Amino acid sequence: MITRSHWKTVLGTLFTALMLFPVYWMVNVSLTPTGDLRRSDPNWFPTDPTFEGYDAALSQQLPALGTSLGIGLGCVALTVVIAAPAGYALAVLNLRGGRTLNFLLLVAQMIPAVVMAMGFYAIYVRLGLLNTVWGLIVADSTIAVPFGVLLYTTFMAGIPKDLVHAARIDGAGPWRTFTRVVLPVSRNSTLTVALFAFLWAWSDFIFASTLNRSGEFVPITLGIYQYIGNNTTQWNAIMATAVVASLPAAILLVVAQRYVAAGVTAGAVKD
């Protein structure tokens, strides 16, 4: 049996390598000297690595990275502030009409972002919110809020009722019960929601490319896009920026893999 299991490990590694080849390729191209980029038989390995791509990327895209970080954090704050109390109302306080609300949230997740982008554009153009970081934070949060509420609701519905009752008997009002009992117990849900809210805001392209096209502060996704449009010869710089833009995802996968998987399957299957 040992040999059979080894054989599976080898096969599994092969599949994973195949799957991750584009990621490897991105790193490889980012290290390729500009002169070698236009060869018809590209180098398979960065035998002659250069950091000129990274130099160009960091010198030009650092502000965009900062903007994306700010937008991501703003989006996390907004999402948690709205989703956590709503989950509490739905799961613990038995909000009336909860089923309808849940359905609306489900439908909300199905609305194409391009439709939301047009709606926001029409509103922002009148309010002067186009090309602002705040406008983008609000738009990006629409991706995460329905997901956050549903995730919190599922988790909070599983909190033992005794815990909530005990708090009430001790004289805690709904607010105290929420902040002192329910929220601390839901720490992992908060981490999952925060993680996804950040990642989605960081990765967003549609809202950025429609609502913040000519803003002073553009996020990194738009930075890359404009890069592609401007200098198609310097693919090492584009790929270097792409590598840097992938770092949050990589870090989160290493640090918080458990929460990532929890988010993907949130409520998908349960006993």
Partner 1 sequence: MTTTSVDPAGRASDGGAAGPGPAAPARDGRRRRNPAGAARRWTAIGFAAPLLAYLAVFYAYPLWRNIELSLHDYTVRAFVQGDPAFAGFEKYAEVFTSNAFGPALVNTALFTLVSIAFQYAIGLALAVFFHANFRLSGVLRALFLVPWLLPLIVSSSTWAWMLNSDHGIINSVIEAFGGTQINWLTSPDTALTAVIIANIWLGVPFNLVILYAGLQQIPAEVYEAASIDGATAPQRFWRITFPLLRSVSAITLLLGFVYTLKVVDVIWIMTTGGPGDASLTLAVWSYREAFGTGQPDFSPAAAIGNLLILIALVFGFVHLRMQRTWERS
Residues 100-119 that bind partner 1 (CB under 8 A): 101-119
Contact between 225 and partner 1 per CB under 8 A: yes
Least Cβ distance, residue 205 to partner 1 (angstroms): 5
Report DSSP state, residue 111. S
Q: Look at phi and psi of residue 217 and say left if phi exceeds 0, alpha if psi is from -120 to 50, else beta.
A: beta
| 50, 131, 132, 246: which one binds partner 1 (CB under 8 A) | 246
Contact between 269 and partner 1 per CB under 8 A: yes
Question: Which residues inside 11-70 make contact with partner 1, applying CB under 8 A?
Answer: 11-13, 15-16, 19-20, 22-23, 25-26, 29, 37-42
Closest by CA position to 24, among listed 46, 54, 41: 46
For 124, the token pair is: 């922002």
Closest by CA position to 247, among listed 181, 190, 189, 198: 198
Match 């270097």 to its residue by tokens.
240
Least Cβ distance, residue 183 to partner 1 (angstroms): 12
Contact between 82 and partner 1 per CB under 8 A: yes
98 vs 90: CA distance, rounded Å: 6
Contact between 260 and partner 1 per CB under 8 A: yes
CB closer to partner 1 out of 62 and 107: 107
Burial grade of 100 (CB within 10 A; 0-12, 13-18, 19 or more): exposed
Contact between 198 and partner 1 per CB under 8 A: no
| 3, 45, 59, 126: which one binds partner 1 (CB under 8 A) | 126
